[in-house]
Structure 1
Amino acid sequence: MHILFVDDDPDIRTLAIRAVLQEFQDAAVNQASDLVFLERALHERAPDILVTDLDLRWTDGFAVFDRVKAVNPHCCTVMFTGTGNEELAVKAIRHGFDDYVVKGTHQLRRLAMAVRAAHDRNQELRRHSENRELVLKELYHRLHNNLQMVISLLRMTEKTIESERDRVQLADLGRRIQALSALQEEFYRSDDFRRVNVAGVLDRLARNLVKLAGGHVALSCDLEQAEMQVDVAVPFGLMVNEIITNALKHAFPDGRSGRLSIRLARAQERLDLTITDDGAGDPGCMGREGSGLGMRLVRRLADQIGAEVSYERNATGTTCRISLPT
């Protein structure tokens, strides 16, 4: 345990240290009376607990808080100041301080109890956070495994169906579930379960689809690294799955070779994805006029996440553009 005390007044610092150490007898202590000593203390070791005054001749307690949190985001923080009113207390708590104590010799015991309570509460929250992350990681792992099992069952069932039309529909369903599985795998690998590296998802998804289509289409990916909220990444990934599947099916019929290019780039406050093929294509299956299940699904998912989808066909192939706000 390492505690940092920041105060201009050496007498107040001494009294505060003495009081707090009654609760943390084995803690190491460091002090800072100016910016030089603060930077030196932070360079030596990131504190686990910060006790700081508000009004300092060289800065203020909020700036000290920000500097310490930049070194250790999990540091427990208590403001101990003679400038006391309800408005300032609210401001300190909103800024992120765990507690606020008004200075005074009769408040030293209150300071020690506040630091102990804040530290224990901070530790409990960290334990809950770590447990939550472990549970989420296990859930993602199990869901990924279950999706793989469903895909295997669909492929086994597909082989037993005589109707070509029914086999195609079942294979399409399997590809959609495979897209979900690729997303879940990316969530599992991510350090932050709320966001996902969408470039990694698109690269893996596109390569899997090209491989499943027979590998006769050359794939080119130019994907800018971009993170996306999970609740946006899932429908976005499913949209891309439908569009790539549609291109592979209709732009390159009967095993025709060709090239499929995918580009992801930021443009101001939007994220733009371009999918271009140089195949023959069937004009009736492209664009918003498409009536197939895949195109209806794309339109519905686009509306869900506020994305704009457009198609352009010319003599050299077809281009689909997806643009969504970031």
Structure 2
Amino acid sequence: MRILFVDDDPDTRALAIRAVTQEFPDAEVREAPDLNGLDELLREQAPDILVTDYDLRWSDGIAVFDKVKAANPFCCTVMFTGTGNEELAVRVLKHGFDDYVVKGAKQLRRLAMAVRSAFDRRRELLELGENRDLVLKELYHRLHNNLQIVISLLRMTEKAITNAGDREQLADLQRRIQALSALQEEFYRSEDFRRVDFAAFMERLSGSLAGLSGGRVRLALRLEAVELPVDLAVPFGLIANEVLTNSLKHAFPDDRTGQLSVTLQATAGGAVLTIVDDGAGYPENLDLSVASGVGMRLIRRLTDQIGGEVSYERGEVGALCRISVPL
């Protein structure tokens, strides 16, 4: 437990320390009388509790708050000042302070109780957050397992179907669910369940789909580090699955060999995924903007859902698809 007191009046600082340490007798007390002292303390180790004045000769309490929170976002913070008013109190609390106490000899007990209350609330929130993360991790794990069961059931059903077209539709459905399962796996591995390592997902997805070609299609990956929020990663991942599947299914007919290149780039406003093959290319008479296949309709619908853009290019050899999504 480390408590940092920031006040350029040594007498007031001493009174505040005496009052607060009655609530935290085993705490390690640190004092910052000036900016250099504050910076040095933060370089050594961030505090768990901050008690700061507002009006400092060398700075102000809000600037001190920002420095401390940058070092430890979970630090609980109380302002103890004699220069403020109701307007400042509102500003301080809106900025993120846990409490605000007006200076005065009769307020020292109030300060100690405010610090204790703020610390206990922050500890409860952290414990709730840890419990929530454990529950989410278990839910993601169970969902991943359930998706694997669904995939297994689809494979069993596919083997029992004699019609080739029906079997192919079931195989496509399996690949879509497998893409969702791969995304769930990335959620499970991540420490932040609100975001997903999309580059890692694309590496797993591309390798899995290219492996279905039996080595006929070489895979070239150039994936920049891109983290996406879950609500964007899921539709974007499904779009990527459809484009990759279409390329592997149609670009290399009759056991043709070739190469599939996948590039993921981070941009100032989002991310761009480019998938290029050196295969047969798009048919000349096919209008890709209105193509009515299930995969193409799914790509258009998901792209509209996330406010993205998809474009197709016919090359002298092969084809290119580029998907841009905003963050």
> Do the structures match in fold with TM over 0.5?
yes
CA 1:206–1:285: 2 relative to 1, 3 Å: farther
Q: How does 1:110-121 map to 2 (within 5 A)?
A: 110-121=110-121
**1:286–1:311 contact (8 Å) kept in structure 2:** no
How big is each residue's C-alpha offset from its partner over 1:181-205, in whole Å with a ceiling of 9 and x where there is no partner? 1111111111211111111111111
Greater Cα shift, 238-247 or 34-43 = 34-43
Give the Cα–Cα distance (whole angstroms) in 1 for the partners of residues 79 and 36 of structure 2.
20
1:150-192 CA distances to partner (integer Å, 9 max, x unpaired)? 1112112211111111110110000000000111111111121
Counterpart code for 1:80: F
Superposed counterparts of 1:92-103, under 5 Å = 92-103=92-103
Residue 49 (structure 1) shift: 0.7
Residue number in structure 2 paired with 1:182:
182
The aligned counterpart of 1:289 is 290
Please name the residue that 2:209 is paired with: 209
Deviation by residue 1:232-277 (Cα, 9 ceiling, x = unmatched)? 1100000010011011111111221111111112344242211111
CA contact (8 A) 1:186 1:201 kept: yes
Secondary structure at the aligned position of 1:254 is classed as coil
Query: CA distance change for structure 1 residues 114 and 219 in 2, over 3 Å: closer, same or farther?
Result: same
Q: Which residue identity does 1:79 align to in structure 2?
A: M
Letter in 2 for 1:25: P
* 1:14-55 residue CA offsets vs partner (Å, 9 max, x unmatched): 111111112112212111111232233334432111100011
Which residue pairs with 1:63 in the alignment?
Answer: 63
Q: Which residue of 1 aligns with 2:139?
A: 139
Partner of residue 21, structure 2? 21
Q: What secondary structure, in the 3-state scheme, does the structure 1 residue paired with 2:254 have?
A: helix
2:214 partner amino acid: G
Structure 1 CA distance for aligned equivalents of residues 265 and 26 of structure 2? 53
Alignment TM-score, normalising by the size of structure 2: 0.96
Q: Which residue of 2 aligns with 1:312?
A: 313
Distance 1:60 1:267 in 2: 37
Q: Could you tell me whether the CA contact under 8 Å between 1:78 and 1:100 is conserved in 2?
A: yes
Q: TM-score, normalised by structure 1?
A: 0.96
Q: Provide the rounded CA distance (Å) in 2 between the counterparts of 1:113 and 1:159.
A: 69
1:315, CA displacement in angstroms? 2.4
Q: Aligned residue for 2:8?
A: 8
1:1-326 equivalences under 5 Å are: 1-283=1-283, 287-326=288-327
Shift of 1:282: 4.7
Q: Residue 209 of structure 2 aligns to a residue in which SS?
A: helix
Stretches of structure 1 lacking an aligned partner (at least 5 in a row): none
8 Å Cα contact 2:281-2:317 kept in structure 1: no
SS of match in other structure, 1:255? coil
State the alpha-carbon separation in 1 of the partners of residues 109 and 209 from structure 2.
66
Give the distance between the partners of 1:285 and 1:173, measured in 2 at CA. 24
The structure-2 alpha-carbon separation of the partners of 1:92 and 1:210, relative to structure 1 and needing over 3 Å to count, comes to same
SS at match of 2:176: helix
- What is the number of residues matched between the two proteins? 326
> In the aligned structure 2, how far is the partner of 1:40 from the partner of 1:112?
26
What is the Cα deviation at residue 314 of structure 1?
2.7
Match of 1:301, as an amino acid?
L
| CA displacement at 1:4 relative to structure 2 | 1.0
Query: For the Cα contact (< 8 Å) 2:311–2:322, is it kept in 1?
Result: yes
Alpha carbons of structure 1 residues 114 and 183: separation in structure 2 relative to 1, 3 Å: same
| 1:253 match: secondary structure | coil
Residue type of the alignment partner of 1:278? D
CA contact (8 A) 2:281 2:315 kept: no
User: How far apart are the structure 1 equivalents of 2:299 and 2:206?
Assistant: 16
Structure 2 residue identity aligned to 1:308: E
Q: How far apart, in 1, do the equivalents of 2:121 and 2:25 lie?
A: 19
* Cα contact 1:180–1:238 (8 A) shared by 2: yes
* TM-align CA RMSD: 1.4
Instruction: Kindly indicate whether the alpha-carbon contact (under 8 Å) linking 2:89 and 2:100 is maintained by their aligned counterparts in 1.
Output: yes
AA at the equivalent of 2:193: F
**Counterpart secondary structure, 1:208:** helix
Distance 2:308 2:314 in 1: 20
Shift of 1:285: 6.1
- CA distance in 1 between partners of 2:212 and 2:260 (Å): 14
Give the conservation status (yes or no) of the 8 Å contact 1:180–1:234.
yes
SS of the equivalent of 1:63 reads helix
Unaligned stretches of 5+ residues in structure 2: none
Q: Distance in 1 between matches of 2:227 and 2:287?
A: 29
